[in-house]
Amino acid sequence: MFKRKNLEASLDGLEIGATGPRRLQFVVRADGRNVTVKLSADEARWLASALEYWAAESEAIAAVRRID
């Protein structure tokens, strides 16, 4: 099997914009490479909703203290 390297990206340099009617794309840079994600308006709404839900729920998670 081939060992795959996980690329890491940040929001630094994130590009986002419309590419046409009801079309959106964003570009992230990961380890010197560009990754383009193209979305329909419905997909963008779903992603925004999922991120909003995750953010709200993650704030409610209490830190778990490990007991050794």
Residue 48 belongs to what domain range?
A: 15-59
d(CA 27, CA 33): 10
Q: pLDDT digits over 17-35, tens only?
A: 999 999 999 999 988 889 9
Query: Cα-Cα-Cα-Cα dihedral of 23, 26, 27, 28, to 10°?
Result: -160
pTM to 2 decimals? 0.70
State whether residue 65 is helix, strand or coil. Answer: coil
Q: In this structure, is residue 68 part of a structural domain? A: no
| Number of domains composing the chain | 1
d(CA 65, CA 57): 19
Q: In this structure, is residue 20 part of a structural domain? A: yes
Q: In this structure, is residue 6 part of a structural domain? A: no
pLDDT of residue 63: 64
